[in-house]
Structure formats: structure tokens, C-alpha cells
Amino acid sequence: MQFTHSPPPTLTISQNFWRYAIPSIAAMLVTGLYQIVDGIFVGHYVGYQGLAAINMAWPITYLLSGLGLMIGIGGGTLISIARGENNPQHAQRALDHAVLLIAAVSVIALVLFVHFGETLLTIQGANHTIKALALQYVQSFGWAAFITIFAGAIPMLIRNDDSPKIATGLLIAGALTNIALDYLFIGIFKWQLQGAAIATIIAQAVTVIGGIIYFCSSYSPLRIHLTMKNIRFNHCWKIVSLGSSVLIMHLYASFVVALHNYQFMQYGTELTVGAFAIVGYMMTLYYLVAEGIAEGMQPPVSYYYGAKKPQNISKTTYLAIKVTIIAGITWFALLYSFPRALIGLFNSGNAALTSEAIAGIKLHLFAMFLDGLIVLATVYFMSVDKAGKALAISVSNMLVQLPFLYFLPQWLGVNGVWLSMPLSTILLSFIVLPMVWSDLQQRNKIAPSIPQPAV
């Protein structure tokens, strides 16, 4: 077995970055359509209580996506490094262990979701009506944990097999399926949040089936093996350790959203949680772009790391930083300028909900470009095999918010809940960004004196 493709030698560093980044951004936005389209249909057909319910279910179900991405990014990073080293045996080994992890983690997730889903909703302060709606969503995903985790992992594995367009195409097929089924199950059949969950699960199954077909085709030198032969625990651990920072990022998002839900129920009402759901969708659109930029940066950076080209690593990373900042500032300017039009996607004329969501956009999202840079820093350290630093950033991102969420609402009420995330993000960025700068400078100092391609 040998690799049949690698980055074309005629491409500049920026062209190679965009070769991965554009499909990756598109893939993340398409993936986000699952959540956003669910919110649009729920907001119009169920109302603000439905939005509050799906926002309380989301921190729970989002963990499944995090588990899938953990395995996909961890295994994909090893595949890209193996490609840079021109070692197809190591790439196949990474894929074999990734598939085993998907199966094992899915069983654990199913048990936890089915037995503890209701408890996790109660902790967030869900009342009887919201809890009943949210539980429909959570338990449906629990029984389909294998599909959701596999759907999160397989596009990342395909992308790192140097097929980013195919990975994006599979995600688009799933998203279009989800849109059609959301209309059918929520709009026509009136299945409420259970309909939203079933539509998403079926759409994810489309992506999974397409991914399996890819690895059985001539497009890939790798194959999915359903076997325990040559499986080693340390290889599984390597995938988990590399991808753990991504899981922590999802745990952070889930944890913070759950805490916000609880605090909004304490200092506000169900309507406030519904407004938070809408603001969260606005944030999600940028967060997905930032994550797409970061994950688009990862394959070339991992490849350059394996190929011992540190200057190319620096140039790729600096380009990703510029794009992340520009995207964040541009999106906030649009949200600040045209809030009613964007909020109207999720709201059927509830003036109080619109007013609360506008206030949330102004208070909650002004520093979101820094959150994008923190995501980028996490993926950067993971891409150059520094899983410890990546994990430390992800954990810090979660812990730094706790004092802000505890004290600010006591002083400022609901406005304090809205301000907790941006203020903690500003504080953390003063620590994380110098870490990236220092690592890049150190890497360039030890760079071998060999000619590098021009950007």
C-alpha cells in the first residue's frame, strides 16, 4: 500500500492552506446547519419554550459530536503526520484504532444518555414543560449515539486522507437531508423536538454511509477493518490524547451553555433562555467558521510537522490567525447593524424575545473573535503533537468562566450573565496568544537552513 496523493508541489503555502480551509469551513457551516435549522423550525412551530428546551438539551447532545470529533481529529492528525512521513502502514493503523474507539465510546454514551439525560436537564433548572420537550431530544440521540459519533469522526478522517472535497460533499448531503426532514417531521407531522432529533439522526446516517463507501473505494488507500487484530491500547490512547483538546472544547461549550441556562433561569425567565438560544445560534455561525479555519489549518500544519518544515508551519498559522480575526470582526459588525433581520429567522413576531436577543448580542458577542483565536491556538498545539498544551488551553477556557459566571450576575443581574463569557475570554487571550507566538518563534529558531517555498 502507498499514498497516491500529497500536497501538489506547485502550490504555495497560502494556496495549500485554502485548499483545506475552504472545504473545512464549508463542512463546519454545513454541520452547523443541523443545529441552526432545528432552531429555526422549533422557533417557528413550537415557540420560545421550544427554543429554551432545545437550548437545555444541546449541552448534553453536543457531547456526542465532541466525542466524534475527538476521535476524528486525533486519528486524522496521525494520518496526516504519517502522510508527511510517507508511512502508509501508520496511517492504516490510525484508522483501525479510530474505528474501534468509535464503537467503544458509543456504547458508553448510550448508557449515560438514557439513564442520566433527565438528571442533566433538571440540574439546568428546566421546569416540567421544558424538561418534557428537551427529554424527547436527548433520549433520541442517546439511542443513536453510534451514528452521531461516527458522523462526527468520519469526515475528519476522510479530510486527513487528503480528500477534503469528498468530506464536505458528504456533510452537505446530510445537511440537505436534515432540512427536508425537519420540515416534514416538525412542520407537517408536528413531532416537536423528537422530530428534530430524528431528522438529524437520519441525516447523520447519510454521512456515515457515504464515508464507509469512500473507505471501501479506490479513492482511498486506507480501508475500514472491523477487527481486533493488531489493536494496541497505547495507539488508542494516542488518538484520545491528541483529540482530547477538541473534546474539552466541546465540554467547555456544553458546560458553559448549561451554566448560562441555569443562571438565566435564576436571574431571568424562560424567555431569557429562549433569547440566549438565538444569540447562541449567532455565535455558533462564527464559532463554526473559526473551527473550520482551525481544522483546515491542521492537515497542512501536521504534514509540515511530519515533513520537518517549521517555516511553513509558521506561515500557515499566521495566515489562519489573520483570517480568524477578520471573520470575527466582520460577523459582529453585521449582527450589530442588522439584528432584527437575523433574529427573525428564529422568532415568529414575539417583540419581547426580539428585544432580549438584541441586548444579548451587544453584551455577549463583542469579543467573540478572541474566542476564535483560542480555538485556533488549541488546534495549533494539537497539530504539532503538543497535546498537553492543547488540553491545558481547553481546560483553562472552561475554568476561567466560573468566577465570572458566579460573581457578575450577583452584581449586574441578567446583564452579568451575558457579560461573563466575553470578559473571561479577554482575560484568557492575554495568556494563550503569547504561548502561540513563543512556540512559533522557537520553532523558527531551530529551523533547518533549507530553501522553503514562497507564500
**pLDDT, tens digit, 9 for 90 and up, residues 154-169:** 998 998 888 888 988 8
- Joined together, the cell numbers standing for residue 40 give 429555526
Residue 58 CB contacts under 8 Å (≥ 6 apart), including other chains: 35, 254, 257, 280
Give 100-108 contacts, CB < 8 A, sequence gap 24+. 100/228, 100/231, 100/236, 101/71, 101/75, 101/236, 101/239, 101/240, 102/68, 102/71, 102/146, 102/149, 102/150, 102/153, 103/146, 105/67, 105/71, 105/149, 106/145, 106/146, 106/149, 106/150, 107/145
Stretch 358-381: mean pLDDT, rounded? 93
Name which of 336, 296, 326, 422 is nearest 19 in CA terms.
Answer: 296
H/E element, 161: none
**pLDDT, tens digit, 9 for 90 and up, residues 228-240:** 677 788 888 999 9
Query: Which amino acid is present at 240?
Result: V
Name which of 147, 125, 181, 132 is nearest 61 in CA terms.
Answer: 147
Residue 366 CB contacts under 8 Å (≥ 6 apart), including other chains: 332, 422
Burial of 4 (0-12, 13-18, 19+ CB in 10 A): exposed
pLDDT at 386: 85
Sign of the torsion angle spanned by Cα atoms 41, 44, 50, 55 = positive
**pLDDT, tens digit, 9 for 90 and up, residues 60-79:** 998 998 999 999 989 988 98
pLDDT at 282: 92
- Joined together, the cell numbers standing for residue 382 give 494539537
pLDDT at 455: 41
Name which of 162, 155, 168 is nearest 4 in CA terms.
Answer: 162
